[in-house]
């Protein structure tokens, strides 16, 4: 496994975070593709969760799509997160992809998963205190996304173990 990020980057006035993960999976390619898609769908259908001091209200608009091609499956997503209550006026834009393909070079790890995500926090912050609060929102959303990724991995592994 190889993981980078999330790393803070800047393009002009836009600050964003990126992460990249490459994972070798010791399971069959087609089973891995199916388990990953099932896990993604299940994780994003669950009810809210608590993080930090207690529940934080955010509204998430999520779209996912799966493309099945010869020799690879690609899953893409786009999420718009709107802060509520203490995070009112803050929102984020996230997009990412996961490519699953057979690993021809290593028969003991027959599948490769490559995942990339970019998260762009946005707010109407103009004061230093507001920017600190916006950073707190950004870290909440990034941490929440990482938690979702970890839960998807756990679910995928459980599904793969059930199939073996």
**Domains present along the chain, CATH in parentheses:** 2-163 (3.30.530)
**Per-residue model confidence (pLDDT) at position 159:** 84
Cα within 13 Å of Cα(10), Cβ side = 2
> Mean pLDDT throughout 29-53?
75
Lowest mean per-residue pLDDT among 29-33, 41-45, 84-88, 99-103: 41-45
pLDDT band at residue 93 under the 50/70/90 scheme: very high
The model scores a pTM over 0.85: no
Quote the CA–CA distance of 148 and 103 in Å, as a whole number: 25
Neighbouring C-beta atoms of residue 78, cutoff 10 Å: 13
Give yes or no for residue 77 having a pLDDT over 80: yes
C-alpha dihedral (29, 34, 36, 42), degrees to nearest 10: -170
């Amino acid at each position: 496994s190889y993981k980078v990020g999330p790393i803070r980057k800047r393009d002009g006035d836009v600050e964003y975070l990126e992460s990249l993960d490459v994972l070798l999976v010791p399971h069959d390619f087609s089973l891995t593709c199916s388990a990953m898609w099932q896990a993604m769908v299940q994780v994003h259908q669950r009810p809210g969760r608590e993080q930090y001091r207690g529940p934080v209200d955010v509204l998430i608009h999520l779209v996912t799509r799966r493309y099945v091609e010869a020799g690879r499956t690609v899953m893409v997503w786009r999420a718009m997160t709107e802060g509520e209550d203490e995070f009112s006026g803050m929102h984020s834009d996230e997009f990412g992809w996961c490519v699953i393909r057979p690993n021809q070079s290593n028969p003991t790890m027959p599948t490769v998963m490559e995942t990339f995500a970019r998260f762009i926090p946005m707010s109407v912050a103009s004061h230093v205190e507001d920017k600190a609060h916006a950073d707190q929102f950004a870290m909440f959303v990034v941490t929440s996304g990482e938690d979702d990724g970890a839960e998807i991995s756990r679910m995928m592994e459980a599904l793969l173990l059930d199939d073996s």
